[in-house]
Amino acid sequence: MEMRVKAHAKINWALNILGFRPNGYHELDMLMQSVELCDEMVFRPAEDLTLSVNGGPRECDDKNLVIRAAKALCAHVGKELGAQIDLAKYIPARAGMGGGSADCAAALIALNDMWKLELPMETLLSIGLKLGADVPFCLTGGLARVSGIGENIDPMPAAPAIPLAMVTPGGGLSTQDVFRAWDAGDRAVSTHDMYDLARAVMDKDLGRIAALTHNSLEVPAINMMPEIGACMAAFRDLGAGAVFMTGSGSTVVAAFETDEQARNAAARVPGAVFTRTCA
């Protein structure tokens, strides 16, 4: 039995850092949504666990979240299970779009099914959180308010698709480096209501989205990579209704009223791609 699945990228309409937990982790409050841009994965039964990425073999070590997901499932059920996993990458790395987390979540769901483990979503969410902060959201997808370190997920009603143009300048940024830069800065926190922003997204009100979106990591990321600010200015000049950085960067997201506007903007900003939000 062959299983083909899509691992959807995510964007952060907002990312607020509220402070620190006693263990040193950052306390977050975010509004996240899945987008159509995705990696594609194929799972096949096999005796051993193997992974290929874009047609080339990869070491089955703990550096790869897909392999870590498979091994975590095996550890949970106390069995050594095999699979041939082929991954085609389209989500950029170090982009703030959750590419590795999306692949990890897709692997948890697909292997739970293929191996007939019958683990409930609650268990997958618990396993996923240990693998990465964005994995629980990637397991559920859609539009949701996400808080804590990523474990608290408040799903929102389905929202209409919003056309987007996105670009990842400078080859991306290290998440750890950007958070460290925030730690060393003024630690600004937004007071905007996340549910007001969610309503604006559900209403496809780009003006209100522009007024309410906020990313605590945007300023430190731009200080580290000024190209982010240049890309934001370019999209605004092309008529974007809302422009913001997603996650820890370096991806810049521009929201438009129509597919045509977003496609035209993507064509005019080098390296940009067109996509849409999805439920």
Give percent above pLDDT 70 in the chain.
99
Does residue 203 have an active-site annotation? no
What is the mean pLDDT of the segment spanning 227-243?
98
What is the mean pLDDT of the segment spanning 261-266?
99
Query: According to the model, what pLDDT value does residue 259 have?
Result: 99
Exactly one of 6, 10, 86, 205 is catalytic; name it: 10
Q: With cut-offs at 50, 70 and 90, classify the pLDDT of residue 30.
A: very high
Alpha helix (H) ranges present in the chain? Answer: 65-77, 99-114, 121-131, 135-140, 175-184, 194-202, 206-212, 218-224, 227-237, 259-268
On the question of pLDDT at 151 being above 90, the answer is yes
Tell me the whole-structure pTM to 2 decimals. 0.94
| Burial group, residue 130, by CB count within 10 angstroms (0-12, 13-18, 19+) | exposed
Amino acid identity, position 184:
A
The two beta strands, 26-45 and 143-148, are: antiparallel
What is the mean pLDDT of the segment spanning 257-275?
98
Query: According to the model, what pLDDT value does residue 186 have?
Result: 78
Q: With cut-offs at 50, 70 and 90, classify the pLDDT of residue 188.
A: confident
Mean pLDDT for all residues in the chain? 95
199's tokens = 């309503």
On the question of pLDDT at 218 being above 90, the answer is yes
Q: With cut-offs at 50, 70 and 90, classify the pLDDT of residue 13.
A: very high
What digits encode the pLDDT tens for the residues 126-150?
Answer: 999 999 999 999 999 999 999 999 9
**Closest-CA residue to 277 (of 3, 19, 35):** 35
CA 212, CA 48: separation in Å to the nearest integer?
Answer: 49
Could you give the domains of the chain?
A: 3-155 (3.30.230.10), 163-278 (3.30.70.890)
Amino acid identity, position 278:
C
CA 272, CA 13: separation in Å to the nearest integer?
Answer: 18
What is the mean pLDDT of the segment spanning 41-65?
87
What digits encode the pLDDT tens for the residues 166-182?
Answer: 999 998 999 999 999 99
Higher-scoring residue by pLDDT: 73, 57: 73
Exactly one of 39, 134, 186, 203 is catalytic; name it: 134
The two beta strands, 3-20 and 152-155, are: unpaired
In b/e form, how buried is each residue of 37-74, taking b as 16+ CB within 10 angstroms?
Answer: bbbebebeeeeebbbebeeeebebeeebbbbbbbbbbb
Sign of CA dihedral 58, 61, 62, 63: negative
Does residue 6 have an active-site annotation? no
CA 128, CA 273: separation in Å to the nearest integer?
Answer: 29
